[in-house]
């Protein structure tokens, strides 16, 4: 039996522990991302993962990417330690095929397309909703593999609350966070700051240039009020700013300054008993400046999003809206450009429930200034076949418009066409009791016009961005959740074949098989848990194969009282040596200690 198969077996055993206890836990949180309206995970017709605030605090992760990688089907590639360039491959799709949002605002830059997950501090996140499968119909470009909505922290109950944490770890890692919030009858406000600093470690295995560190300071603030006529108004702002050290191709140390921000002004109203309306004005900024050269890249995006939800009757919820976007992208580097692009869209969705059946129909027309009109659609169906078994089926389309770098950057081509996809999905959910939840999904995602840099002629140093013909990703996902009394456990596995059908080659840095598992035991003031990730080998550039690996993290906590706790995290306890990108370093065995003050109302 090979290493990965042993890891798969051990993980399944770990995650299926089911001790008996009188306490009951829920496995059905409420999400909003799948349909733009509130619904339970069980009501969602798409595969959904929710990373809760409890899981975020327990894991003590340095960034959001570290939280995501411990869920199957979310492959992470990272060029070094904290703050280094990070790519996410959701269900085998490209790193720019996942739409990342912060509080419902698109976070992907218009230059590279892939969002800077490494700059998002988990301390300011309430929960993360991951919806797998095409969602361009609701959210537009990039949502080919799925959507990840990162929802920032808010006060939960009335009153004034404060919370905070301090952490120390190896590589001179220092973390600090502080939050204060007040919620009254008709108004609310909050402010949070989080600082992550680390000296890091050498980013490249072959490097002797010293450590590559990271500095990150994030703020999150909001103020809102509900007027006498029921109109709710909120102004919010999230920002991450810092500096990251890295190694260039010649292994020389370089560093860059970054700033990411999302600002939103949101109006919510209920004009009638059957009609609710939300108008959101948002601005996203993504700035990156190299300090040893004049190279830089910037994205500024202003969006008006107006959503209306109408209950036609008790069985029928219609969602309709418009999105108007203006984006400015600039870049100075191998190639320089300064482009402004307008994208306008209208979308319509009908969510029909009748008896034990549910049908979702959705369509969108996007008018892109450079590519004209583009239509996408989704059809999803679910039936509660028995009290414990739900059957699901769906088909949907998605697209990604070429970024500024695709069209005008190194090797760019202004005449590139949008990438398009068609995904078919079949699923089954089985919940024999309220404590156990099993799921299986099979998907077949065909992608056309995939944009790749190719050598022309072969073997030269001349690269050209080109639409290639056919990419196909077929796979099966398995999931299990358990919650009862002091125990919580889950296991997720994916078996997929992400392949370029034109060249009959596997897509780079994506595992064909991976398993994640987690188990947590809480008793009184004590908590202990473990998280495991096992993944098969992956292909990388230059005909390199990255070896399979298994990594396990342990965490423990002790609550002094209802508000104060001490936590510890031991990462990679077996000191596994592995690579996420060829010749780039990953952490060995490391420890982080944390003191946290966290009242229950916050």
DSSP string, 17-30: -----S-B-----E
Return the pLDDT at 10.
40
Q: What is the pLDDT of residue 601?
A: 55
C-beta separation of 386 from 368 below 8 A: no
Radius of gyration from C-alpha coordinates of the chain: 23
Neighbours of 241 (CB within 10 A): 16
Q: Which residues contact 420 (CB under 8 A, 6 or more apart)?
A: 397, 398, 399, 447, 448, 449
Which range marks the domain in which residue 37 is found?
A: 3-597
Where in 62-102 does DSSP place strands (E)? 74-78, 86-90, 98-102
Cβ neighbours around 9 below 10 Å, total: 13
**Polymer length in residues for the chain:** 602
Domain count, the chain: 1
Other Cβ atoms closer than 10 A to 167: 21
Q: Which residues of the chain have pLDDT under 50?
A: 1-25
Longest CA–CA span in the chain (Å) reads 69
In a domain, residue 602? The reply is no
Per-residue model confidence (pLDDT) at position 17: 34
Taking alpha carbons only, the member of 536, 449, 451, 454 closest to residue 497 is 536
CATH number at residue 359: 2.40.170.20
Among the listed residues 401, 494, 395, the one whose alpha carbon sits nearest the alpha carbon of residue 445: 395
What was the pLDDT predicted at 88?
Answer: 97
302 part of a folded domain? yes
- Picking from 344, 282, 347, 343, the residue whose alpha carbon sits closest to that of residue 321 is 347
User: What pLDDT is attached to residue 262?
Assistant: 98
φ and ψ of 66, to 5 deg: -65, -35
- Within a domain: 495: yes
Distance CA 442, CA 492 (A): 14
Task: Flag whether 199 is in a domain.
Answer: yes
Q: Find, among 12, 2, 17, 3, the residue nearest to 482 by Cα.
A: 17
Nearest to 142 by CA among 181, 110, 186: 110
Look at residue 411 in the predicted model and tell me its pLDDT. Answer: 85
- Tell me whether residue 583 is in a domain: yes
Q: Tell me, yes or no, whether 176 lies in a domain.
A: yes
What pLDDT is recorded for position 381?
Answer: 98
């Amino acid at each position: 039996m090979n290493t990965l198969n042993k890891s798969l077996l051990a993980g399944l055993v770990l995650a299926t522990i089911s001790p008996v206890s009188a306490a009951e836990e829920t496995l059905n949180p409420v999400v909003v991302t799948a349909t733009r309206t509130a619904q339970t995970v069980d009501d969602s017709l798409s595969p959904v993962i929710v990373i809760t605030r409890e899981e975020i605090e327990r894991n003590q992760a340095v960034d959001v990417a570290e939280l995501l990688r411990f869920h199957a089907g979310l492959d992470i590639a990272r060029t070094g330690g904290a703050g280094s360039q990070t790519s996410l491959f959701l269900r085998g799709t490209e790193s720019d095929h996942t739409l990342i949002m912060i509080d419902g605002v698109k976070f992907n830059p218009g230059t590279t397309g892939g969002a800077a997950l490494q700059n998002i501090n988990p301390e300011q996140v309430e929960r993360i909703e991951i919806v797998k499968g095409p969602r361009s119909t609701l959210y537009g470009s990039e949502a080919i593999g799925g959507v990840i909505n990162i929802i920032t922290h808010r006060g939960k109950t009335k009153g004034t609350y404060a919370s905070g944490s301090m952490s120390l770890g190896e590589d001179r890692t220092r973390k600090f966070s502080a939050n204060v919030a007040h919620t009254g009858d008709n108004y609310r406000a909050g402010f949070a700051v989080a600082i992550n600093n680390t000296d890091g470690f050498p980013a490249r295995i072959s490097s002797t240039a010293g450590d590559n560190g990271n500095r990150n300071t994030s703020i999150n603030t909001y103020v809102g009020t509900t007027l006498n006529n029921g109109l709710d108004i909120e102004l919010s702002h999230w920002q991450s700013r810092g500096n990251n050290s890295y190694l260039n191709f010649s292994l020389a140390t370089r560093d860059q300054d970054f700033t990411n921000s999302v600002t939103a002004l949101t109006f919510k109203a209920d004009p009638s008993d059957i009609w609710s309306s939300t108008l959101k004005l948002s601005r996203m900024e993504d700035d990156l400046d190299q300090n040893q050269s004049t190279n830089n890249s910037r994205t500024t995006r202003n969006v008006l999003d107006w959503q209306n939800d109408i209950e036609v009757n008790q069985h029928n919820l219609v969602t309709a809206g418009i999105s108007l976007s203006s984006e400015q992208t600039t870049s100075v580097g191998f190639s320089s450009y300064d482009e402004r692009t307008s994208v306008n869209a209208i979308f319509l969705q009908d969510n029909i429930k009748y008896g034990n059946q549910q049908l979702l129909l959705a369509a969108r027309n996007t008018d892109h200034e450079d590519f004209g009109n583009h239509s996408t659609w989704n059809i999803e169906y679910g039936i509660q076949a028995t009290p414990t078994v739900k059957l699901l089926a769906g088909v949907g389309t998605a697209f990604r418009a070429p970024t500024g770098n695709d069209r005008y950057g190194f090797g760019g081509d202004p005449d590139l066409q949008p990438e398009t996809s068609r995904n078919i999905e079949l699923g089954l959910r089985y919940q024999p009791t309220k404590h156990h939840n099993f799921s299986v999904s099979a998907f077949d995602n065909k992608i056309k016009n995939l944009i790749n840099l190719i050598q022309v002629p072969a073997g030269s140093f001349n690269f050209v961005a080109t639409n290639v013909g056919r990419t196909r990703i077929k796979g099966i996902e398995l999931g299990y959740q358990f919650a009862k009394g002091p125990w919580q456990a889950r296991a997720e596995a994916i078996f997929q074949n992400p392949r370029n059908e034109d060249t009959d080659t596997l897509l780079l840095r994506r595992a064909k098989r991976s398993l994640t598992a987690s188990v947590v035991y809480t008793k009184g003031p004590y908590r202990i848990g473990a998280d495991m990730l096992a993944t098969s080998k992956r292909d990388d550039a230059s005909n390199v194969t990255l070896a399979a690996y298994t990594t396990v993290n342990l965490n423990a906590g002790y609550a002094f009282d209802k508000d104060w706790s001490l936590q510890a995290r031991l990462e990679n306890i077996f000191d596994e040596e592995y690579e996420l990108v060829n010749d780039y370093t990953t952490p060995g065995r490391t420890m982080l200690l944390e003191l946290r003050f966290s009242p229950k109302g916050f």
